[in-house]
Structure 1
Amino acid sequence: MVVGLLMSVVLENEGKNGYSAGESVSGQVVLELLEQIEVLGLHLCAHGGAMVSFTLWKGGNWNQNTSPSGEHVEYLNEKISLLVAGERHIFPSGKHKLPFSFQLPTGNLVTTFTGRYGKVQYQLSAVLERPSVPDLTVHRELRVTSRIDVNSPSLLTPVERTNERMVGCWFLTSGPISLSAKIGRKGYCNGEAVAIYAEIENGSSRLIVPKAAIYQTQSFIVHGKTKTHKQMLASVRGNHIASGSTETWNGKTLKIPPVTPTILDCEIIRVEYVLAVYIHIPGAQRLMVELPLVIGTVPFNGFTYRNSSVASQFTVDMSWLALALAEQPEAPPNYADVVSEEDLSWCAPPVTQQDVLLEGLCFPSFVVIQEFRFQPPPLYSQVDPHFNHGAEGTAPFTLEE
């Protein structure tokens, strides 16, 4: 670091997961000076790619037949000049901010990653050129995340695997152990919980324990040779299953920890994930099924999967419903059919002379209101109109307030 000169690179629009292909990167190169300096040029370089390095074993003797080997693939190489080339620039003492902005290429940009035998790395380098002194260079990491949408149809399909094993040896077999496991979809994001559905049947004479775990597998390729590194990220354990018993997992959850998204678009580095559901069997090799997972960057929105799930509920046989329903619904009964003639005569309005005259007139049927087709209910009264005054030992019923 030059005495009296401090240079840094500041990013203004960096998101939580960094940048993706095609996005704009903007920021400032900041110069803090204690005295006046002369500058010939100021450049900003954006570069990076994938690098793999490990030792190849050529034979049985590590001391004589090993040789270091490596591979490199470049994905980003951009250079921006922040000052007019060929001119001398005088910067007085103080703080100076030189803005920059550029767009990342729209092609393949592999996610930033650091693994066992290699890494994918991007960075911004600011280079300050001055007369008669060496160039001053500072670096700033540029985090890149490849966009993986877990809502794509290929990642929304359920995944199911089944396996079975006969426990015992030769003629001392004790019985089969079967395992069937399923998850609702293939794509998930960091922090999501995977719901595991499984059926375990223990037909053997041994006490078994079901478990589930998420594994990450890193693959590094150099000159056609591959080295892998596998590690467990999270696990969950079920209950012991006795001989002749079964156990069902109806959505046992396993949360995905913060991990690097799946990397499948790099020529020399791959990062893959699986959900392994397995059974620990005393004295025998464990029984396992592996369900592939894809860790994405665009969260699950819930609509596509929920709609397909709801639609699947209506695929059941509904033919019984047609037998239970009548072909044509019946009309409600006429009020006159359920009321006695005595009640009808009691609640009918008195016939007037005007009604008699109207009966003799000829009106079209559609303009005459059929007011007697459906009679209204009896009028409310506090005194029973049907009380028999001649009966002994009875009194009229009245409603007291």
Structure 2
Amino acid sequence: MVKLKDFHIVLDNNKNVYTAGDFVSGHVAVDLRGDMKMRGIRIYMRGLAKVHWSESRGGGHQTGSYTKYYDAEEEYFYMKQVLFGKDEDEGGSNPILRAGHHELRFSFQIPYGRVATSFEGKYGRIRYWLKAEIDKPWGFNSKTKRAFTVIDHIDINTPQLLAPQTGFQEKTVCCGLCVAGNISMSIKTDRKGYCPGESIAISAEFQNGSARRIKPRATLYQRTTFFADGKSRSVRNAVAGLQGNTIRGRRTENWTNKLLKIPPITPTLTNCGIIKLEYFLTICLDITGAMNLYLHLSIVVGTVPLRAPPYTPFDVLGVGSSGIEVSYPGIYPSPPLSEGEAPPSYAECVFGGVDIRDDEPGDAEMTGDPMFTPMYTYVSNYEFRQPPPPYSLTDPNGHGEETTRQPSLCEGVS
């Protein structure tokens, strides 16, 4: 008779999103049809970035073709707790867990060290998970696993990320030996930093001084670069887009705050040593019978949405005064909510879920749901507002004194 009826991990309050300093707590549920003798039940919590890809190469006549593998890892933490019985290296007799339903409590704290936001990509991932294991001295161990999302906060309420982005491009279109005319575009976005669920407001002027037809379109691209063994590999994905009307020759068309909505996507990654993720907005003019004209603007996808004036950013310098001791630079507690501000909401990544049975040997035999989809901050019911006034730290009491402080969490991100 198979004694193990059910074995899975339950997180308190069904919580799925955490940040540095948070406690990951819950219980391991074990249902037994009969008494089971075991060495013990343990649970592990791990955070790991991993990169892998391969390249096939053709060798010479003597060596032939071969495949080169590239691998890299960056571990953020690895913790263990014994929930029942003894650890794997302890001696003594093995205990018996009686038949029935058992709930074994656990609690881990994500350290204030450097952790990167959860990410699942083609050649690599940043993944955080819990794994529970029943250690059977005379049989195969039973395992169950559950992944969760960790977010490294990027506050877009900073001077650099609230500043508009501008760009200009032009080209001369020729027809044989004759100049057909100039084509140009002037682009402006309302700001540089956004959260998923918010919209990029694009204003533009497209001038078609040629006889050809042109058609503008805007695309938000995600570019991920993976690093291993001194090499890199990049992947580009289009995550959102819109297009305008066809512009006939000798005509001009304007966009005024044309909105491009950002879906649930991974925030910009800047603090992982083996995976870099960035975004850029590309404006393309499709030109009939000629090479297209492109303009690229850098965009930062953050986790703390746009706040109401005076657009005060989350000041990491104030963390120490809250009684929370920060022992590592770069990672801080969740940004506090402003008065009247609703807690953040989260949405599953637009690219869908992945199978997590590939992190360690023996994962293929584990129980529980093997699918995991990262969740990211998402602004529901976003309404576009006119761009904020110039960023100011003027005394709110109206005394006209300006205060000074060090840059906030993601100032300097480009």
TM-score by length of 1: 0.71
SS at match of 1:142: strand
Q: In the alignment, what sits opposite 1:327?
A: none
Q: In the alignment, what sits opposite 1:309?
A: 388
Written as runs of structure 1 = structure 2, the 5 A alignment for 1:86-125 is 86=90, 88-125=94-131
Written as runs of structure 1 = structure 2, the 5 A alignment for 1:156-305 is 156-168=162-174, 171-304=177-310
Offset at 1:303? 2.0
Q: Is the 8 A contact 1:13 1:26 kept in 2?
A: no
Question: 1:261, 1:15 → 2: CA distance?
Answer: 20
Question: 1:311, 1:298 → 2: CA distance?
Answer: 19
Offset at 1:59? 6.2
Question: 1:205, 1:280 → 2: CA distance?
Answer: 14
CA distances 1:222-242 after superposition (whole Å, capped 9, x unpaired): 222221111212211112222
261 and 309 in structure 1: CA distance in 2 versus 1, 3 angstrom threshold: closer
Question: 1:262, 1:12 → 2: CA distance?
Answer: 28
SS at match of 1:154: helix
Q: Is the 8 A contact 2:3 2:35 kept in 1?
A: no
2:53 counterpart of 1:54: yes
2:8 counterpart of 1:8: yes
Question: 1:239, 1:137 → 2: CA distance?
Answer: 56
Question: 2:387, 2:146 → 1: CA distance?
Answer: 45
Amino acid at match of 2:73: H
35 and 256 in structure 1: CA distance in 2 versus 1, 3 angstrom threshold: same
Question: 2:305, 2:2 → 1: CA distance?
Answer: 46
Q: In the alignment, what sits opposite 1:80?
A: 81
CA distances 1:368-397 after superposition (whole Å, capped 9, x unpaired): xxxxxxxxxxxxxxxxxxxxxxxxxxxxxx
Q: Is the 8 A contact 2:203 2:256 kept in 1?
A: yes
Offset at 1:24? 0.8
Question: 2:163, 2:205 → 1: CA distance?
Answer: 20
Q: Is the 8 A contact 1:162 1:289 kept in 2?
A: yes
Question: 1:50, 1:202 → 2: CA distance?
Answer: 48
Computed over aligned residues only, the root mean square deviation of the Cα atoms, in angstroms, reads 2.5
TM-score by length of 2: 0.69
Match among 135, 154, 165 for residue 148 of structure 1: 154
SS at match of 2:222: strand
Written as runs of structure 1 = structure 2, the 5 A alignment for 1:134-145 is 134-145=140-151
Question: 1:43, 1:174 → 2: CA distance?
Answer: 74
Q: In the alignment, what sits opposite 2:30?
A: 31
Q: Is the 8 A contact 2:3 2:36 kept in 1?
A: no
Question: 1:263, 1:127 → 2: CA distance?
Answer: 32
Amino acid at match of 2:36: I
Moved more, 168-177 or 201-210: 168-177
Q: In the alignment, what sits opposite 1:64?
A: 65
SS at match of 1:174: strand
CA distances 1:83-126 after superposition (whole Å, capped 9, x unpaired): 36456443221111111111001122122222121122221111
Q: In the alignment, what sits opposite 1:374?
A: none
171 and 273 in structure 1: CA distance in 2 versus 1, 3 angstrom threshold: same
Offset at 1:77? 0.8
Amino acid at match of 1:47: R
Offset at 1:135? 2.7
More helix by share: 1
Q: Is the 8 A contact 1:30 1:98 kept in 2?
A: yes
Question: 2:107, 2:209 → 1: CA distance?
Answer: 66
Amino acid at match of 1:226: S
Unaligned residue ranges in structure 1 (runs of 5+): 313-401
Question: 2:282, 2:237 → 1: CA distance?
Answer: 12
Offset at 1:58? 5.5
* Aligned-residue identity in percent: 38
CA distances 1:178-211 after superposition (whole Å, capped 9, x unpaired): 1111111111111111110111111112111111
154 and 107 in structure 1: CA distance in 2 versus 1, 3 angstrom threshold: farther
SS at match of 2:160: helix
SS at match of 1:205: coil
The number of aligned residues is 311
Q: In the alignment, what sits opposite 1:40?
A: 39
SS at match of 1:155: helix
Written as runs of structure 1 = structure 2, the 5 A alignment for 1:339-350 is none
Question: 2:184, 2:71 → 1: CA distance?
Answer: 45
SS at match of 2:271: coil
169 and 63 in structure 1: CA distance in 2 versus 1, 3 angstrom threshold: farther
